[in-house]
Amino acid sequence: MITDQLQHLLARLPYPALDAVADLRVATGRDSTGDPAVWVFVIDRDGAIERLWSYWDDLRAQIRGVATEETSPDTTTYVRLQALSEVSEEGATRRRALSGALGVGMEGATRCPGRSSGHAGRDVGVLL
């Protein structure tokens, strides 16, 4: 399952980068062209982006690789980095409205607890 594989991928990040990740969200659906797509949102803790940034290009490529393996080569993977403050309840309301307008199909989403890495305060969840 894509969410499990992505959680394992994040758990392998070196500590400074791992501690910067607050959440992981995944949505599937069709993009604006009607093609199958996966959206992966890596949520970083506010003020911690510097710890994650030096790993970002490699992490993004690895996320795309996992998504391709778990879906199909025809599926486009969009990887986004967002600050935790950007995904507040107000932001969630805007995203729900936008995803409905784009037909992304996130209205039936559920959150699943992530695999704990043993780091205090790390809460990795997945939005399906």
Q: What is the pLDDT of residues 30-40, one digit of tens each?
A: 999 999 999 99
Give per-10-residue mean pLDDT for the chain (128 aa): 83 80 90 94 89 88 90 92 80 63 46 33 34
Token pair in block for residue 3 = 């969410």
The Cα–Cα gap between 115 and 4 comes to: 8
Q: What is the pLDDT of residue 5?
A: 85
pLDDT value of residue 113: 33
